[in-house]
Structure formats: C-alpha cells, structure tokens
Amino acid sequence: MRKIVAAKAEDKDEILKLYKMQLGREFCPWDEYYPEAKEIDFDLSRDALFVMKEDTEAGEKIIAAISIDDDPNVESMECWSEGRKPGAELARLAVHPDWQNQGLARQMLAFGMEKIKERGYKSVHFLVNRLNTKALRSYAVFGFETVGECSLYEQPFLCYEKEL
C-alpha cells in the first residue's frame, strides 16, 4: 500500500539517499552539494516536505518526495503573474529509480498542489529544465502555463505556473 504523508525528522536520512539517487540522471540539475541535509531541515521546519511511502517486506520505504519551497531567487522572478499571487513553488520532486514511470511524479504534484491550495495560495509554480522531456510530459496533464524562461543555478529552465 502507498500513502503520501508529511515527512518527519526520522525520514531525513532516507530522503537524502533518495535525493542522491537522482544525481547523474539525465536533466537532473542537482549535484553533490544540492540538495543536502540543510534543505531537508529547512523544509521540515516549515512542514513543507512530503513523502510517498510504500509498504515492503522490509517495512515502509520512501519512494518519492516533494517540497513546497521558499527560494527568494525563484519567488522574485518577474514572470509570475500578479493576478495569481500569492503563489508557491513546488520543488525537489524525486522518485526512486525503481518506481519511476508509474505516475508517482504526477501523484506527488497533485498532492503538493492540494497542500498549497489548503494553505491559501492562489497559484503554484516551478522551474523545469527545458530539455527534460520526461518531466515536461508529466506536467502537461495538469495544464500548466509556460510563463517564461530563465537560466538559474547554471541550468536552462522553463517557468511553469497554474492557478489553483
């Protein structure tokens, strides 16, 4: 059985391992310095980190994660629509390689959008590497609007936004 829940401090090591599994994957903008434990701590301190857990023979295993970020570099971008503010960013979406291509990223996005809406935000936005066709296909089903492009953290991004 799978469930999506708020991450807890005791999940930190497993979440960090999940993040590190993404390194070197095609279009992954992360490196050995990001994301790290400090990002997990920041997300946990704001109740902004959510994980999908799967029951396995060895017990519960974290197979996906997503956070509601608070990055001033992203929030200050001019592409976000004034009429859709306040908006919140979904970030650090990761799916365990053994569970990819099963729609889990979409489930995590839908869950994250619902949490953002519950918190009183009018819209959701995020950045995606413009060459990441797999992610772009996942996001297309939600009707996100491309509102800009940027180069941030040495990556070429598309800026996506959706009213909630």
Domains located in the chain, CATH noted: 2-125 (3.40.630.30)
Task: Give me the percent of the chain exceeding a pLDDT of 70.
Answer: 100
The whole-model pTM stands at: 0.93
Confidence of residue 28 (pLDDT cuts 50, 70, 90): confident
Return the structure tokens found at 83: 């009429």
Residue 152 clears pLDDT 80, i.e. is over it: yes
Residue 128 CA to residue 131 CA, distance in Å, equals: 8
CB 27 within 8 A of CB 93: no
The one-letter amino acid at 40: I
At a CB cut-off of 8 Å and minimum separation 6, what does 21 contact? 94, 96, 97
